[in-house]
Amino acid sequence: MGVFGTPQRVLVRGEGCFVWDTHGEKYLDLLGGIAVNSLGHAHPALTSAVTRQMQTLGHVSNFFATEPQIRLAEKLLEIAKAPNGSKVFFANSGTEANEAAFKLARRNQTAQRHRIIAMDGAFHGRSMGALALTAKSAYREPFEPLPAGVEHIPFGDAEALESCVDDTVAAVVLEPIQGEAGVRLVPEGYLALVRRLTQRSGALLIVDEVQTGMGRTGQWLASADIMPDAITLAKGLGGGFPIGALITFGDVVSGLLTAGQHGTTFGGNPVAAAAALATIETIEDLELLAHAHAVGEWLRLSLAAIPGVREVRGRGLLIGFDLEWASAPRLVSQALEEGFIINSTGPHTVRLAPPLIIKQAQLADFLTALPRLLTDVKDPTP
């Protein structure tokens, strides 16, 4: 189907932070499969774990549990600092994890408590429930009517939040950093405010960490300073192997979805769980959280010093930067011709989400090329 547009290249192999196409051309991957390839490509720890698990036990139904699935759930609860009674539901992707979170919100509904609050600029996926939480009209309108009850408010606007969160709200759903909207961070103190308001009103606070979680921002979770009612994860969780998760905090929230109210055939597959465990263990062994924090800070400062770059945002190795001219899509194409994979989220905005293992010297190659690339694609009409 043509839902993705025409592929830019056919890629045949990867190693570390590089991939190669069918013609043997080499590219530095500064997008990491959109924040997925935490360990880069063909990392030996990941490939060994997947191979070992496939040789042992490839799939069972969810009538049974497996050892990797149990170990991964325990590890995620530890990372999230979840209290007793907390649970994990495994899915196959971020949109499926958010679909489960949407149903969790609906289970907190009553006749009076019927509103779900999401944010302008939000992207939570394209399945029907997740799409109802997503804000972009171009994604939503062809499929309306969407599940009802979702209202979008200005992102990061404390006054708008305070005026709408009351005892009619079942849940507030938000990303701590909006990747699709151009890597936009919530203001300082905003997450704590939404936590206070949702606790006071009885609404759930659901944090979408699909893109920001698992070390991408230099922390395991970008929302680590607060304890929400639920977190969704995917992308970097499996290091390239498809897996998502919904974590629910405490026994009350974890009891909202009961037997038969949600499910999945492949979620929690032992091979995917083994891949996620290997990814987490490697991030710990290589101290990639500290690495992502330090390299990301250096990269943001370096980008900000380049003429033509107007604003740089982000945390860790999730970075967005705006150009002075509306030439970001052309920059993406030109950079690909020069051997760099990057991504634009709008006419002015470029997004970078390289593997967490990327070295400063590899990023320096891109920074050296960027001024010339910007000159090549500069729009003569400001």
DSSP 291-338: HHHHHHHHHHHHHHTSTTEEEEEEETTEEEEEESSS-HHHHHHHHHHT
Distance of CA 209 to the CA centre of its chain: 5
Q: Looking at the annotation, which residues are catalytic?
A: 123, 208, 235
Q: Report pLDDT for 149.
A: 96
* Short-list 17, 63, 59, 79, CA closest to 272: 59
Residue tagged 């639920």 (tokens): 230
CA distances from 148 to 37, 102, 104 (A): 35, 11, 15
Give the residue among 353, 374, 250 at the shortest CA–CA distance from 31: 353
If one counts every other C-beta atom within 10 angstroms of the C-beta of residue 10, the result is: 8
How does DSSP classify residue 34? H
Q: Do you find a cis peptide bond into 145, omega within 30 degrees of 0? A: yes
The secondary structure of residue 238, as a DSSP letter, is G
The H-or-E segment that residue 284 falls in is helix 270-285
Separation of alpha carbons 307 and 125, rounded Å: 35
Q: What is the rounded distance in angstroms from the CA atom of residue 110 to the CA atom of residue 242?
A: 34
pLDDT value of position 5:
86
Nearest C-alpha neighbor of 339 from the set 24, 32, 27: 27
Spell out, as residue ranges, where the chain has pLDDT lower than 70. 379-382
Residue 118 and residue 152 in contact, taking contact as beta carbons nearer than 8 Å? yes
Nearest 5 degrees, angle CA 19-CA 24-CA 28?
Answer: 30
* Model pLDDT, residue 379: 61
- List C-alpha distances in Å: 255 to 85, 104, 120, 251, 258: 9, 10, 30, 6, 6
In sequence order, what are the beta bridge partners of 74? none
Query: How many CB atoms neighbour CB 28 within 10 A?
Result: 22
What whole-number distance in Å separates Cα of residue 269 and Cα of residue 238? Answer: 12
Amino acid at 301: L
- Distance, in Å, from the CA atom of 339 to the CA atom of 20, rounded to the nearest integer, reads 10
Residue given tokens 């330090």 in the structure block: 294
The token pair at 135 is: 């804000």
